[in-house]
Structure 1
Amino acid sequence: MKPPQAQSTNPALDFLLRRLRQRGDFPALSESVVAINRVAASESETVGTLSNLILRDVALTNKLLRLVNSAHYRPASGGQISTVSRAVIVLGFDTVRSIAITILLFEHLPNKTDAEQLREEFLRACLAGLFARELATQLRTRELEQAYICSVLHSLGRLLSQYFFPEESADIRQVMKQHDCHEDVAAQRVLGVSFEELGIGLARSWGFPSLILESMRKLPPSKVHKANTQEERLRVLSACANEHCDALFHLPPAERERAMDAIVSRFAEALPIDAAQVREHMESAIDEAHAFARIIRVDLQQTQLGRHLADYLGNTAPSTTAEEEPGAMPRGVALEQRLSAEPTPAGQKPADAQGVLSAGIQDISNTLVEEFKLNDVLRIILETMYRAMGFKRVLLCVRDARNNTMNGRFGFGPGATELAGQLQFSLAAQPDNVFNVATAKGVDILISDIDDPAIAMRVPDWYRKSVHSRTFVLLPLTIKGKPVAMIYADKERPGAIEISEQELALLRTLRNQAVLAIKQAG
């Protein structure tokens, strides 16, 4: 998938964007961000589409799940979230998109000599996003996640310049010192475009909507008037948050306080908050920044930003949340330990498969006591199996009562959508093959090798012609002795599926939860 090209009339910007597409892992980063934005922007896309997209990256999945289980995101019920599908359901598309894009940006930071400066820029941008979300809460607006992502991207041009053009970025800093000019003026001299133009051009090429693109434009230095539209409101929130964070990061204490008071005064009409409220919201944002830094494995206290934050807080550590009280066992510690371990490569079973299955069972139990959509619950079940067992693909098949056939519906893994169109068989046939035996008799079947002489004749021709996997497992769902659905999971290499008795028991519990969900849904 190629990211859309930025439509620009600026030759210098076009030249820089072409350079970016030729640098390191930038194309992979771009494709991931573009794909996420396409899903989030489409009214026809589902929870499963976004979940499937994130699940392709195991490290992204683990970090995202750790972050959504932090104190600042955890749902009011207090239950743990163990699947991306449930995270999307509980937190919403916008929140999960914002988290995923933030993690992606950090994961693609280079590990080289200039990485420290880049890391500082990234953390400052994240703090601005967190602070903007706090300000949006103060204003009682629903645009919390838009405020977050707009503020993070506000300095995208500076961040990406430091990332991909480190030599030019050093020249820009030198020009700023020599000529005592603003960074955008220096960037214009060195790059031919300002950081603002570069950031907006890049964000446009990544498919961000105009609402976000407009928020990346800086405000004039004069008094800021009340915002009358959503675009103006997000631009004001983004600018205010970034100006506060710039003052906190770049200025000594005495100047910092004066500068932040001046920012409050300049934005007073648009954002009616006082200095005390700014400090309250900034302290909350700093707490969340520390939690985020731990999840991405950065010791914030060892960074320049961390030292500035400690000074701002009066050399006190970030406040301790209830889940982190000294001597207390954090809630969900088992889930945290599983997700913080080195991620298992896609298609391989994690060391703690039973733990992942158990967490998923609890996740589904929490969902079933709430109002739920049947397909959402079924996706959580499939995703749990997919992540826990290292299957290549997991698919749900559903009975079509009109034609008395079992048809593939949706699932997880590469090619799951295509496979759904290929898995279709009649339930009227005599149980002479493994698919009809499983559904007619309600028995679970594991085929280790479709070419094993003892079983080869029981694998139907339609399967051999359309599916290339050599091993699969079938888990039928029956109600009152009649098949209503079936879970199919596979791997390519014969003998690659190994299921212990304990794991099989947990898989059957998941299957039973699917049956219960179907019954409750009527």
Structure 2
Amino acid sequence: MGIAQVWGLPEVIQSCIRKPTGSPPLRPSLQPLQRLRWLASAANEVSDILLRTPAAQVDAKVVQVSGIYASTLGISLKEMQSSTLLARQKFIEMASAMDIKVLPNSAAARLLSPPPKTIDNAPPTDAAADSLDSLALQATVLESQKSLPLKKTDERQVAEILAAGIQDITNAMVEDFKLTDVLRMILETMFRAMNFQRVVFCMRDPKTDALTGRFGLGNGVESVVKTFAIGLAPSNPDLFTAVCLKGADTMISDASEARIASRLPVWYIKSVNAPTFLLLPLTIKVKPFGLIYADKAEKGEMVLDDKELALLRTLRNQAVMAFRQSS
């Protein structure tokens, strides 16, 4: 508060910094600034739990705090737990991407330990969507170094390009920015670093309740973008719809495999039909509003290690953050 006053920060910001007094109200405040103060208070308490509580007791403590603040913030108990879990996962991914090292048994090490996946962050879908679990995006495991398409120096270069792009985008978002400019920076970073054949950005069209192609980069992308139309109806979803509804980062190494090919939408088979592709859904409060699609020209050509995977997810998360800040 002293620093805020010396710097002459606006009274609105100084008001947000002040810790609210009394017990959390039983309903959301009609005043946005007051609600923001309670949101910060809840975040502080949850962060303290993650930093200072033994792993075996974390879930119970988070549930306890969530029960206190859920009605104050106007969200359900499960939504608050899910948000906490998602934040932990994203924080760990970012720390890994930045190659942050911490002392064993420290509070930071406790914070960076993977959380148990006991809370479902995605809306319920049918059994067909649940079958996507085996396709969830993970670092590629290779049986032989001979099958590695990139040399070690190339791998380092890929990570360096991705990390540099993340830093440039972070710097851009500190200032006033145009949403389309940031989204293009994200796609350009992915396209250049990973040597994709095509990258396409899709966004929800409220008139059709579908994710439609907006722009992209790569070979013949102008005509390909126009064909993207991913319906968001949960009944009998194709592969693209199921991935977006589930919010599951997914890599298809071989699109000709029978169980994959049978679930590809007709528009994709007719107009795109890449042998290997990557899907990174964009969601806010578990609702899909966008998708980053990328593909390569040869089956099995898409190979990701842990660091590349974390960096790609960080870029996707920056796209979500850009939408939040621009809204």
* TM-score w.r.t. length of structure 2: 0.51
In the TM superposition, residue 388 of structure 1 has moved relative to its aligned partner by: 0.7
Residue from 423, 433, 455 that aligns with 2:260: 455
Q: Structure 2 counterpart of 1:511, which letter?
A: R
Of Structure 1 and Structure 2, the greater helix share is in: 1
Q: 2:211: which partner in 1?
A: 406
How far apart are the structure 2 equivalents of 1:472 and 1:371? 33
Is 1:428 paired with 2:230? no
Asked whether the equivalents of residues 357 and 388 of structure 1 are also in contact (C-alpha less than 8 Å), the reply is yes
How far apart are the structure 1 equivalents of 2:256 and 2:299? 9
Q: 1:393: which partner in 2?
A: 198
In the TM superposition, residue 401 of structure 1 has moved relative to its aligned partner by: 1.1
Q: 1:488: which partner in 2?
A: 293
SS in 2 for 1:408: strand
Is 1:418 paired with 2:207? no
How far apart are the structure 2 equivalents of 1:381 and 1:475? 12
**Root mean square deviation, CA, Å:** 1.6
Is 1:445 paired with 2:247? no
For structure 2, which runs of at least 5 residues remain unmatched after alignment?
Answer: 1-148
Asked whether the equivalents of residues 397 and 408 of structure 1 are also in contact (C-alpha less than 8 Å), the reply is yes
The percent identity for this pair of structures is 50
How far apart are the structure 2 equivalents of 1:476 and 1:468? 19
Q: 2:323: which partner in 1?
A: 518
In the TM superposition, residue 350 of structure 1 has moved relative to its aligned partner by: 8.6
Per-residue CA deviation, residues 326-354 of structure 1 (Å, 9 max, x unaligned), is: xxxxxxxxxxxxxxxxxxxxxx9796111
Q: Structure 2 counterpart of 1:447, which letter?
A: I
Q: 1:467: which partner in 2?
A: 272
Q: 1:382: which partner in 2?
A: 187
Q: Structure 2 counterpart of 1:446, which letter?
A: M
SS in 2 for 1:359: helix
Pairing 1:82-93 to 2, within 5 Å after superposition = none
Residue from 478, 494, 497 that aligns with 2:302: 497
Q: 2:281: which partner in 1?
A: 476
Of Structure 1 and Structure 2, the greater strand share is in: 2
Considering Cα pairs closer than 8 Å and 6+ residues apart, tell me whether 1 or 2 has the greater RCO: 2
Q: Structure 1 counterpart of 2:325, which letter?
A: Q
In the TM superposition, residue 425 of structure 1 has moved relative to its aligned partner by: 2.2
SS in 2 for 1:454: helix
Asked whether the equivalents of residues 234 and 245 of structure 2 are also in contact (C-alpha less than 8 Å), the reply is no
Asked whether the equivalents of residues 234 and 242 of structure 2 are also in contact (C-alpha less than 8 Å), the reply is no
Asked whether the equivalents of residues 254 and 276 of structure 2 are also in contact (C-alpha less than 8 Å), the reply is yes
How far apart are the structure 1 equivalents of 2:266 and 2:221? 20
Change (3 A) 1:510 1:374: same
SS in 2 for 1:446: strand
For structure 1, which runs of at least 5 residues remain unmatched after alignment?
Answer: 1-347
Is 1:355 paired with 2:160? yes
Asked whether the equivalents of residues 211 and 232 of structure 2 are also in contact (C-alpha less than 8 Å), the reply is yes
Asked whether the equivalents of residues 395 and 420 of structure 1 are also in contact (C-alpha less than 8 Å), the reply is yes
SS in 2 for 1:483: strand
Q: Aligned residues, how many?
A: 175
Pairing 1:181-330 to 2, within 5 Å after superposition = none
Per-residue CA deviation, residues 167-221 of structure 1 (Å, 9 max, x unaligned), is: xxxxxxxxxxxxxxxxxxxxxxxxxxxxxxxxxxxxxxxxxxxxxxxxxxxxxxx
In the TM superposition, residue 450 of structure 1 has moved relative to its aligned partner by: 1.2
Residue from 297, 308, 313 that aligns with 1:508: 313
How far apart are the structure 2 equivalents of 1:459 and 1:412? 22
Per-residue CA deviation, residues 472-503 of structure 1 (Å, 9 max, x unaligned), is: 11000000111110000011211111111211
Q: 2:169: which partner in 1?
A: 364
Pairing 1:44-63 to 2, within 5 Å after superposition = none
SS in 2 for 1:488: strand
SS in 2 for 1:496: coil
Change (3 A) 1:501 1:456: same
In the TM superposition, residue 514 of structure 1 has moved relative to its aligned partner by: 0.3
Asked whether the equivalents of residues 407 and 425 of structure 1 are also in contact (C-alpha less than 8 Å), the reply is yes
Change (3 A) 1:391 1:429: same
Asked whether the equivalents of residues 212 and 230 of structure 2 are also in contact (C-alpha less than 8 Å), the reply is yes
Asked whether the equivalents of residues 349 and 390 of structure 1 are also in contact (C-alpha less than 8 Å), the reply is no
Asked whether the equivalents of residues 407 and 424 of structure 1 are also in contact (C-alpha less than 8 Å), the reply is yes
In the TM superposition, residue 430 of structure 1 has moved relative to its aligned partner by: 2.6
Per-residue CA deviation, residues 79-124 of structure 1 (Å, 9 max, x unaligned), is: xxxxxxxxxxxxxxxxxxxxxxxxxxxxxxxxxxxxxxxxxxxxxx
Q: Structure 2 counterpart of 1:438, which letter?
A: V
